[in-house]
A and B are shown apart, each in its own frame.
Chain A
Amino acid sequence: MKILVCISHVPDTTSKINFTENDTKFDTNGVQFVINPYDEFSLTRAMWFKEKQGATVTVVNVGSSATEPTLRKALAIGADDAIRVNMEPTDGFLVAKQLAEVVKNGGYDLVLAGRESIDYNGGMVPGMLATLTDFNFVNGCVGMEVDGTNVSATREIDGGNEVLSTSLPLVVAGQKGIVEEKDLRIPNMRGIMMARKKPLQVIEATDANATTTIQSFEKPAPKGAVKLVAADNVDELINLLHNEAKVI
């Protein structure tokens, strides 16, 4: 099985979010970048297939050279090789287009991605990619097994789960559950050493037109201070929730 794992390079969850150039650019100053947490779950699942069922695992990112340390980290976790499509990822559709090209040229059976990236929260790349490549598609996946070309996958729905059957070729957007958090891999020294020698291929982007552009960013209006109520005065809390906030 040939597996491709899409890796988004995102600010660490604890990053302070600020903008520059008149609120048109994300301020990367002092920000630590990591593998998107949802992609990390999918990458770990890919490693499981590689070790237990036999598969090759390629990781791919659409981005500038600044994302290479993130790809190297994925290689250190155990991916066999990496591809970077040299393009500033300004729009979900553009990213999906580039990835579709990689998928078509690489003959992959299974493409694993994350449910969304935690920076722009679009949640659109996996579904667009599946449609552009005419692969089957499972979103919000919390469990999967592959037997030959048959796939059983579980996705999260409101208030429960749904079990789906499908087949390769397939795009899966994973989240926690596709592997457990305790099973996530941390690169070890040997992995890091080996990753330096693994191939990281840079390819140029294909022509495509973006369908959206970000004009500017803004931050939520600063919140007023919390109103504290004495612990022995819950009547006051009920009063505030009923008369002031009007939520009960």
Chain B
Amino acid sequence: MSVLVFADSSEGKFKKTALEVVSYGKKIAEQLGSSVVALTINAGDVSELYKYGAEKVVTVSNDSLNTFNAKAYASVIKQVAIAQNATVLIIDSSINGLYLAPIVAVGLEAGYASNVVALPGNTSPFTVKRKAFSSKAFSNTVITSDKKIIGLAKNSYGVYENSVAGTTESFEATVSDADFGVKSEKVERVTGKVTIADADIVVSAGRGLKGPENWGMIEELAGVLGAATACSKPVSDLGWRPHGEHVGQTGKPVASNLYIAIGISGAIQHLAGINASKVKVVINTDPEAPFFKAADYGIVGDAFEVVPQLIEKLKAFKAS
């Protein structure tokens, strides 16, 4: 019996979510009196995972898996889960994780709970807390099947060091043509920028900025903080910013540690996408803007006066 964690990597580097699922898996293994095994696909050096508690790392190397493919990855995960006699499987709830986990669930006849935000409240019955109603509530869900899959929401548990002397084992997985019914033709990535999904800090701006020509200061602020930039829906609808930056109910969800909202009213559909962020700061001229009810810190003021000051002061703070 083991707890198997899929530690996703990109170009040989583990994502922060991979370290988070390993940290989380280690804790569940302790709860269950079992051990934690991490699975990597074409990851290169895996020793970093020992630091977060992986007692065993199963490595799969296969050139046909260099580009993510949901069905093929799901097939590999299933094979390793069976070989390792895994009863609990942990996958992150990233875009790729949400793509492959339901496929694994059917393959293993395992119950699957996505967007889980905490350790199981109880392991018998096995109960996990999940986001529901766009983070306006949680559901305590019991996974009733023998095998269980947990999709862990980003930044909901955290990354904890817990060094162990781990071992590595390579695994020969079989992938067949049938796994590649969907083929990747081209990946178009915006390079050189922090992406919303990976970012710890997101600087977001809304219609209050008046026009696309005013985004220079937003990008500069994001640059100082090492943050990703985002926007409200009307801003991307108006073509001021790319669609990929639109956050909210119908856009991207954000689960950053810090979310700074500038000139955004805080409509319920916008908040639905950012509720999972830990600390929210709002800068808005209108003291009645609904965002002030959702925020932790706020400044009632004009973005065109506050943001330049904030940039200067943060530069000084970072330099000190």
Contacts and interface: CB of A to CB of B under 8 A. Distances in A.
Nearest to B178: A134
Interface stretch (B34-42, B44-52, B129-137, B208-216): B129-137
B294 A223 contact: yes
Contact of B317 (A11, A17, A161, A238): A238
Interface string B248-270: 01110000011000000000110
Interface in A1-30: 11, 13-14, 17, 19
A118 B279 contact: no
A247 B279 contact: yes
Contacts, number: 255
Q: Tell me the dominant secondary structure on chain B's binding face.
A: mixed
A213 B144 contact: yes
Contact of B190 (A155, A160, A248): A160
Interface residues of B, number: 93
Most B-side CB within 10 Å, residue of A13, A160, A182? A13
A92 B130 CA distance: 14
Nearest to B147: A211
A124 to B, nearest CB: 4
B317 A127 contact: no
Contacts of B18: none
A17 B136 contact: yes
A237 B114 contact: no
Nearest to B251: A176
A195 to B, nearest CB: 25
B265 to A, nearest CB: 14
A123 B114 contact: yes
Contacts of B133: 11, 17, 118-121
Interface stretch (A47-55, A61-69, A73-81, A135-143): A135-143
B96 interface: yes
Contacts of A211: 105, 109-112, 143-145
Given A213-B142, A242-B317, 15 more contacts: A122-B114, A123-B102, A123-B114, A124-B105, A132-B106, A140-B99, A161-B188, A167-B181, A176-B250, A181-B237, A218-B138, A226-B297, A227-B298, A234-B309, A248-B317
Interface of B: 70-71, 94-96, 98-103, 105-107, 109-115, 125, 127, 129-145, 181-190, 193, 195-198, 200-201, 225, 237, 243-244, 246, 249-251, 257-258, 268-269, 272, 275, 278-279, 281-282, 292-302, 305-306, 309-310, 313-314, 317
